Copies of this chain bind each other. A is one copy, B any other.
Amino acid sequence: MAIHRFRPTRYYNVIGTAEPVLRVADGDTIIADTIDASGLDAQEAQASKGPNPMTGPFYVEGAEPGDTLAVRIDRLTPSRATGWTYSPLAFTVLDPAAIPERPATQRVVWDISPNEGVVRLQNPPPGLESFTPPIQPMIGCFGVAPPLGQAFSTSTSAQNGGNMDYRRFAPGTTAWFPVAVPGALFYLGDGHACQGDGEIVGTGIETSFEMEVTLTVLKRKITWPRGETADDIFTIGNARPLDQALQHATTEMQRWLGEDYGLDARAASHVMGQVVRYDVGNVFNPAYTVACRIAKKWLTRR
């Protein structure tokens, strides 16, 4: 169970099959630097171009196609004191008739204050002087190489993960990805200091991070990403429109409740019908992300 401290010298804008930058054992921990969505590093130097430059890929010994890679998010520490967002709301979340009335796109800067545990606009407009939501770090984009030799831009997501921008990919969560190539080839980056549902301004608070994750190979097969927090299990669907993302996530949850909790389709529906929660990861990227989530208190492992 080694701990690897990795400092990248190059970055990837696609998630695909590339030469690994590091080989780690099943169960190892990686502490890695990541840069922000536009390529700015901890010194705000332009270390790469966008979109969402990735750190990696990491080869995990023993991971084979058909396996699952479990990624425990141990720690996400912003590595600089500012982050940025776009404003106003993205085209994708407004009534088309309301789009002409939106102001032009602008990039604004937020201070990230670990002492206070909050973020704060550097130049708040009137009324937002005291708007200081908590730092809630999350991984915007991470995942494993897809099958067939495919390679996907880090602006989007698919069954292999990618740019899901879901705020529950946060410290304490373990994310699962379906392994499609030997070694899994795991990438991560695009950290956000804070983000609401849907990434509806087109960004979270984008900044550089030191990310610590622990990688474990599970000898089981999944179809879509899954996750577990202290309280919940969840499944992820990535697609457009949101309806299809929700269908993928719901179908994957039905499978999971069968596999691990002994619930057939009808029994699973009794549980999901009464206690399921849906979260909108992002409604901005080429593929939207919906999570289907159930509190573990309602479930008993078989």
Which positions in A face B, CB cutoff 8 Å? 13-14, 16, 85, 87-89, 91-103, 106, 108, 119, 121, 124-128, 131, 133, 148-153, 194-201, 203-205, 239-244, 246-248, 250-251, 254, 261-280, 283, 288, 298, 300, 302
Contacts and interface: CB of A to CB of B under 8 A. Distances in A.
A178 to B, nearest CB: 15
B153 A200 contact: no
Given A96-B99, A204-B273, 15 more contacts: A92-B243, A94-B247, A95-B248, A100-B100, A101-B265, A103-B265, A121-B270, A127-B300, A196-B273, A197-B277, A198-B246, A198-B276, A200-B269, A243-B283, A246-B280
Contact of A270 (B131, B151, B250): B131
Contacts of A203: 273
28 contacts: A13-B149, A14-B148, A16-B150, A85-B270, A87-B273, A88-B265, A88-B269, A89-B250, A89-B269, A89-B273, A92-B243, A93-B246, A95-B251, A96-B99, A98-B251, A99-B99, A100-B100, A102-B265, A127-B300, A128-B271, A133-B275, A150-B152, A152-B152, A198-B276, A200-B250, A201-B272, A246-B283, A278-B279
Contacts of A272: 89, 196, 200-201
A274 B98 contact: no
Contacts of A277: 196-197
Main secondary structure of the interface of A (DSSP, over half): mixed
A262 B127 contact: yes
A95 to B, nearest CB: 4
Contacts of A88: 265-266, 268-269
Nearest to A255: B98
Contact of A276 (B95, B97, B200): B200
A277 to B, nearest CB: 5
Contacts of A125: 263-264, 266-267, 270
Contacts of A244: 240
Contacts of A91: 96-97, 99
B94 A251 contact: yes
A92 B244 CA distance: 9
A246 B91 CA distance: 12
Contacts of A151: 16, 149-151
Contacts of A100: 99-100, 102
Contact of A274 (B133, B148, B251, B269): B133
The 6 closest A-B pairs by CB, nearest first: A91-B96, A201-B273, A242-B242, A196-B276, A88-B269, A151-B151
Nearest to A240: B240
